[in-house]
């Protein structure tokens, strides 16, 4: 941040506001304080029978790798609405949501993932503009070496484990930077 | 947003970027697109024995009303770390977290609440700078008419109901604007 978006001044510094305990972007001219907070990524683990749906990414990062449909939650929507919107945008998938399934924090990139579990209501899916392919996979067919993000791999592992147990429950945790 | 925080230009408009489907703040000079997303509020329902802890707010909004300790999640922390930080800042409370307990979307104010359930580990609590008082309440002592936010009231109701049932489980939902 180089200029104040309220007054246009270039007197923006990174410093600790009075009464605060961490640095923020502060405008020395008009006094505006800018708070930057984590963002929420919402998505779905879509399933039908013994298969789950994955999308091959048409965009960076991780272009060409497989992921569950997910993206940034938008203002004005609930997390479930956002998850269904992303499933439509990326996979043209229509889904009946069962429940919230996976909540993971990724502190080093300031993200919180909220993934729902949901059943496909029809088979008229296909790639949206951000996907190269959309396919259904049985557990033994999953391209485990080509999964785009650790959060997606963990959620898929939980899903197949829970399927064996016959009990789906919320999974949560923290994914830290690889050391 | 009146000025571009990257280049200082005043040519910032609210319009739909190419390939997008909703208006964003766009700089007509340098092309920067600004995304504004929902924020996460993290907090704790602190309990000890048959009592829960509430804080009387020393700040607006809802100054003088009672709430569970909670606040905006910060970059670089997990939601659980943020919840414990807020409990310390607002109530000087030390807590052992049991589990994620309450996840609520509030779309009309672009917020997602993530509240944990946790036991106080000592009784050395007291008001931080954003609280007037910090007190423990049995269910029948809760000042139900003076609870600051609907999300907090619902979470407290779930807690006492679950306590009667002897089973705590995640509660989630959406809180919409009062019509």
pTM of the model: 0.96
User: pLDDT (tens digit, 0 to 9) for every residue of chain A, 179 residues total?
Assistant: 999 999 999 999 999 999 899 999 999 999 999 999 999 999 999 999 999 999 999 999 999 999 999 999 999 999 999 999 999 999 999 999 999 999 999 999 999 999 999 999 999 999 999 999 999 999 999 999 999 999 999 999 999 999 999 999 999 999 998 76
Residue A86 has what pLDDT?
A: 98
Percent of chain B whose pLDDT exceeds 90: 97
For chain B, domains (ranges, CATH) are: 1-36 (2.20.70.10), 39-174 (3.90.79.10)
Question: Residue B178 above 80 pLDDT?
Answer: no
Residue B25 has what pLDDT?
A: 96
- Cβ-based burial of A89 (10 A; exposed 0-12, middle 13-18, buried ≥19): middle
- Residue B143, token pair as written in the block: 């000042």
Q: pLDDT, tens digit, for every residue of B134-157? A: 999 999 999 999 999 999 999 999
In this prediction, residue B12 has a pLDDT band, given cuts at 50, 70 and 90, of: very high
Closest CA of chain A from B30, distance in Å: 13
By Cβ distance, the residue of A8, A78, A172 closest to B10 is A8
Residues B59-64, mean pLDDT to the nearest whole number: 96
Are residues A72 and B35, on separate chains, in Cβ contact within 8 Å?
Answer: yes
- Give the ipTM: 0.95
- Mutate: best of B6, B8, B18, B177, partner A, most A CBs <10 A: B8
- Mutate: best of B10, B105, B114, B168, partner A, most A CBs <10 A: B105
Residue B179 has what pLDDT?
A: 60
Query: How many C-beta neighbours within 10 Å does residue B135 have?
Result: 17
* B178 vs A151 pLDDT, higher one: A151
Residue B177 has what pLDDT?
A: 85
- Mutate: best of B23, B112, B169, B176, partner A, most A CBs <10 A: B112
Average pLDDT along chain B: 96
CB distance from A72 to chain B under 8 Å? yes
Are residues A5 and B7, on separate chains, in Cβ contact within 8 Å?
Answer: no
Closest CA of chain A from B166, distance in Å: 18
- Residue B96, token pair as written in the block: 């052992």
Residues B9-34, mean pLDDT to the nearest whole number: 94
Residue A179 has what pLDDT?
A: 60
Closest CA of chain A from B7, distance in Å: 7
Closest CA of chain A from B50, distance in Å: 26
Question: Residue B42 above 70 pLDDT?
Answer: yes
Q: Which residue of A has its CA nearest to B77?
A: A107
């Amino acid at each position: 941040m180089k200029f104040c978006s309220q007054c246009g001044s270039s007197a923006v510094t990174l410093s600790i506001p009075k009464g605060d305990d961490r640095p923020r972007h502060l405008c020395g001219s008009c006094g505006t304080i800018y708070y930057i907070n984590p963002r929420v990524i919402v998505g779905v683990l879509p399933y039908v029978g013994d298969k789950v749906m994955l999308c091959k990414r048409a965009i960076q990062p991780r272009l060409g790798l497989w992921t569950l449909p997910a993206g940034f939650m938008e203002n004005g929507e609930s997390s479930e609405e956002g998850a269904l919107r992303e499933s439509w945008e990326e996979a043209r998938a229509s889904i009946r949501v069962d429940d919230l399934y996976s909540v993971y924090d990724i502190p080093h990139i300031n993200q919180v993932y909220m993934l729902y579990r949901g059943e496909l209501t029809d088979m008229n899916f296909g790639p949206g503009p951000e996907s190269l392919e959309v396919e259904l996979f049985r557990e033994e067919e999953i391209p485990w070496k080509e999964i785009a993000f650790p959060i997606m791999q963990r959620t898929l592992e939980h899903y197949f484990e829970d399927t064996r147990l016959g009990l789906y429950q919320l999974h949560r945790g923290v994914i830290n930077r690889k050391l």
